[in-house]
Amino acid sequence: MITKQDSLDFLEKLGIEYELAEHKAVYTVEEAMAELPGRTEIKNLFIQDDKGKRQYLVIMPGMKRLDLKQLAVDLGEKKVRFCSEEKVVNMLGVKPGSVSIFCCLNETSHHVKVIVDEDLLREPDLGFHPIVNTATVFVPTDAIHHILENLAQESKIQPL
């Protein structure tokens, strides 16, 4: 499994400048907003099809509601639902609350499709937990394309 340092090394290898903010453990968008006031919060949701055969990492603005029925339509699925805690741990290598794009560096997650809400492209930077929820790594928003291109996963930026 990858570590916080692996996340930072990945960004450095890609030449992406970042800001690392250490903070107390956060489990919700509201807690993150309290720890990092003035920053745009995002949420990372681990979703699967109704049979549990296909998984998606959905990255979107923290205060935006996700319409699961519309997401299913957009993904060409009959129905989607949240993955269990056990599946999060087994496939992404983290516990719920620490899910982020850096989970995609784990070999067990290479089949997961990454969906990024295009609304995030309006933000000056994006913050992701580097495998632990006691820190947030902020990268310039335009770096998201470079990050996605260098992951093993299929990825897409689309409206949610």
Decide: pTM greater than 0.85: yes
Nearby residues of 106 by Cβ (< 8 Å), 6 or more positions away: 1, 2, 91, 92, 93
The Cα–Cα gap between 85 and 96 comes to 6
The Cα–Cα gap between 108 and 101 comes to 13
Which domains, from first to last, does the chain contain?
Answer: 4-158 (3.90.960.10)
Measure CA 108 to chain center.
15
Low-confidence ranges of the chain (pLDDT < 70): none
Predicted local distance difference test score (pLDDT) of residue 100: 96
Predicted local distance difference test score (pLDDT) of residue 114: 98
- Residue 64 is classified by DSSP as S
Predicted local distance difference test score (pLDDT) of residue 40: 85
Helix (H, G, I), strand (E, B) or coil at 27: coil
Predicted local distance difference test score (pLDDT) of residue 136: 96
